[in-house]
A and B are shown apart, each in its own frame.
Chain A
Amino acid sequence: MTFLLKRALLKFVCNQNAESALWLSEMTPEQEAQLVQKCHRDPAAFGEVFDLWYKPIFGYIMRRTADYDLSKDIAAETFLKAFLKIGGFKWRGIRLSAWLYRIATNELNMYYRSSKYQPASLHQLLENPQMEKLLHQDAGEEREMLDKELKAHNDYNLIRQRLLELDIKYQEVIALRYFEQKTNSEISMILDKSEGTVKSLLSRGLEKLRNML
């Protein structure tokens, strides 16, 4: 009896955790559409978008750049752009999460293409001294902790460094596939490319990367 009760309890806890994990990582398209509509009605609802996707997007940027301050700036620029543009976001098959990854990828591409990259929207926000103080506030030991975490992964570091020598079109697909564990259809949605193109970019990119290692 006790055994059965324990099993039922365990099953319940597992289901609860699975549900919350699902909510945090993947919302259904309907849930995302509702959230977008909520943001259209009330800009304060963007806080929910931020809470759900800031960490994965920051993680994606950090794993590609391995630079804490730069990642902070690019992630802030990504969410600032999303916040200012979400009023014009229309449901045309693209998921909200894919849209956020797309903005972040475009910012990263701009950074890698130009040595004079400046996050334009963020720059305007930083003109306000209070905002600058807030955004550039010291986050305690967070930087050291994340730098330590990055340095602890030798294989990843080697691949990331070699990846930087490839063309950007290969960098983005490989990073999304192997650093972020995205599927080909998710990558095609993020990059606005067909799945066939993604597959061929992945295959050619991996071949080039293998030859470099």
Chain B
Amino acid sequence: MTEDEDFLTKMGNLNVPEVNPTAHPKMVKMAIMSAERSAALGFWLVAVPCYFLACVFMYYFFNRQVSWFGAMFKLSEGLDKTPGIDFMAPIVLVVLPIVCIVINALAITHVHYEKNPGGKPGAKEFVISIKLKTWNIVLILISLVIVFAFIAFSMTENISIRS
């Protein structure tokens, strides 16, 4: 038998380790199977507020009405002029950006309680961490600007009406 054949036989009969994981595949499976749901949720958390804010921006600054959003604004104008349900429009205009702030803040904030932090016995810590995700932070800031602009607008309008 030549050296080459000998080596090939050795490789062919190579005894390899039997890898048979028993515990961790269940955990990996659970994480993977819920991945799509989190990814979809993450998409909507960003996409819906983005679309809403883009429409608000275009409506107020360029006076452009984007399909259903323009119709929604017309409807809210109509509601504003109807006695009894005139409170709906400001609620929609303030509540939606606030919802946007809340969902984006929840997406980047992580709160957890820690017992004996750093090995100190008896110590308790409440840890709040904020992930620096650009998109979420930008959306929160834009929503805050809209809410504050709306509040400032309502206050100045009330003052001017009274005076």
Q: Return B64 CB to nearest CB of chain A, in Å.
A: 34
Q: Are A146 and B16 in contact (CB under 8 A)?
A: no
Interface string of B35-79 (1 = CB under 8 A from A): 110110000000000000000000000000000000000000000
In the bound complex, residues from chain B placing their C-beta under 8 Å from that of A156 are 14-17
Q: A156-B17, A210-B7 are in contact. Are A135 and B31 (CB under 8 A)?
A: yes
Does chain A have a CB within 8 A of B24?
yes
Does chain A have a CB within 8 A of B159?
no
Q: A156-B17, A206-B8 are in contact. Are A129 and B29 (CB under 8 A)?
A: no
Q: A44-B33, A210-B4 are in contact. Are A149 and B28 (CB under 8 A)?
A: no
Does chain B have a CB within 8 A of A115?
no
Does chain A have a CB within 8 A of B160?
no
Chain B binding surface SS class: helix
Does chain A have a CB within 8 A of B82?
no
Give Cα A6–Cα B20 distance, bound, in whole angstroms: 33
Give the number of A-B contacts (CB < 8 Å).
109
Q: Return A23 CB to nearest CB of chain B, in Å.
A: 18
B: interface residue count bin: 20 to 34
In the bound complex, residues from chain B placing their C-beta under 8 Å from that of A75 are 28
Does chain A have a CB within 8 A of B123?
no
Does chain B have a CB within 8 A of A72?
yes
Q: Are B28 and A83 in contact (CB under 8 A)?
A: no
Give Cα A93–Cα B153 distance, bound, in whole angstroms: 64
Q: Are A55 and B21 in contact (CB under 8 A)?
A: yes
In the bound complex, residues from chain B placing their C-beta under 8 Å from that of A50 are 25, 29, 32-33
Q: Are B112 and A80 in contact (CB under 8 A)?
A: no
Q: Return A152 CB to nearest CB of chain B, in Å.
A: 7
Does chain B have a CB within 8 A of A35?
no
Who on chain B is nearest to A71 by CB? B19
Give Cα A44–Cα B34 distance, bound, in whole angstroms: 9
Interface string of A67-102 (1 = CB under 8 A from B): 000001001100110011000000000000000000
Does chain A have a CB within 8 A of B125?
no
In the bound complex, residues from chain A placing their C-beta under 8 Å from that of B12 are 178
Q: A43-B36, A156-B14 are in contact. Are A142 and B31 (CB under 8 A)?
A: no
Does chain B have a CB within 8 A of A137?
yes
Interface string of A176-193 (1 = CB under 8 A from B): 001100000000000000
Does chain A have a CB within 8 A of B131?
yes
Q: Are B36 and A149 in contact (CB under 8 A)?
A: no
Q: A72-B28, A79-B32 are in contact. Are A155 and B38 (CB under 8 A)?
A: no
Give Cα A127–Cα B159 distance, bound, in whole angstroms: 47
Who on chain A is nearest to B25 by CB? A54
Q: Are A47 and B33 in contact (CB under 8 A)?
A: yes
Q: Are B110 and A134 in contact (CB under 8 A)?
A: no
Contact among B11, B15, B32 for A76, CB-based, below 8 A: B32
